[in-house]
Structure 1
Amino acid sequence: MTRTVLVVDDDPDVREVLSLALSAFADWRVETAAGGAEAVLRCGSGGVDAVVLDVEMPGYDGRRTLRELRGAHAALPVVFLTAAADTTGLAELGALAVLAKPFDPLGIGTRLAGLLRWDG
Structure 2
Amino acid sequence: MTSKRILVVDDEEAIREVVAACLQRLGGWEVLTATSGQEALQQASTEKPDAIVLDVMMPEMDGFAFLQQLRSNPETQPIPVVLLTANSYLPNPQLLPKLGVVLTISKPFLPIVLVKQIAQAMAW
TM-score, normalization by structure 1: 0.91
Structure 1 residue 87 displacement after superposition: 1.1
Once the two structures are superposed, the pairs formed by residues 30-69 of structure 1 within 5 Å of their partners are 30-69=31-70
Structure 1 regions of 5+ residues with no counterpart?
A: none
Offset of residue 85 of structure 1: 4.0
Output the aligned Cα RMSD: 1.3
Quick one: distance in 1 between partners of 2:110 and 2:60? 27
The more displaced of 90-99 and 49-58 is 90-99
* Larger displacement relative to structure 2 (45-54 or 79-88): 79-88
- TM-score relative to the length of structure 2: 0.89
Q: Does 1:111 align with 2:117?
A: yes
Where 1:69 maps in the other structure, the secondary structure is helix
Aligned-pair identity (%):
36
Q: Which residue of 1 aligns with 2:80?
A: 77
* Number of residue pairs the alignment of both structures matches: 118
What CA distance in whole angstroms lies between the structure 1 residues aligned with 2:27 and 2:104? 21
The amino acid of 1:87's aligned partner reads: L
Q: Which runs of 5+ in 2 are unaligned?
A: none
By how many angstroms is 1:105 displaced? 1.3
**Residue identity opposite 1:20 in structure 2:** A
One-letter amino acid matched to 2:29: W
How far apart are the structure 2 equivalents of 1:66 and 1:89?
14
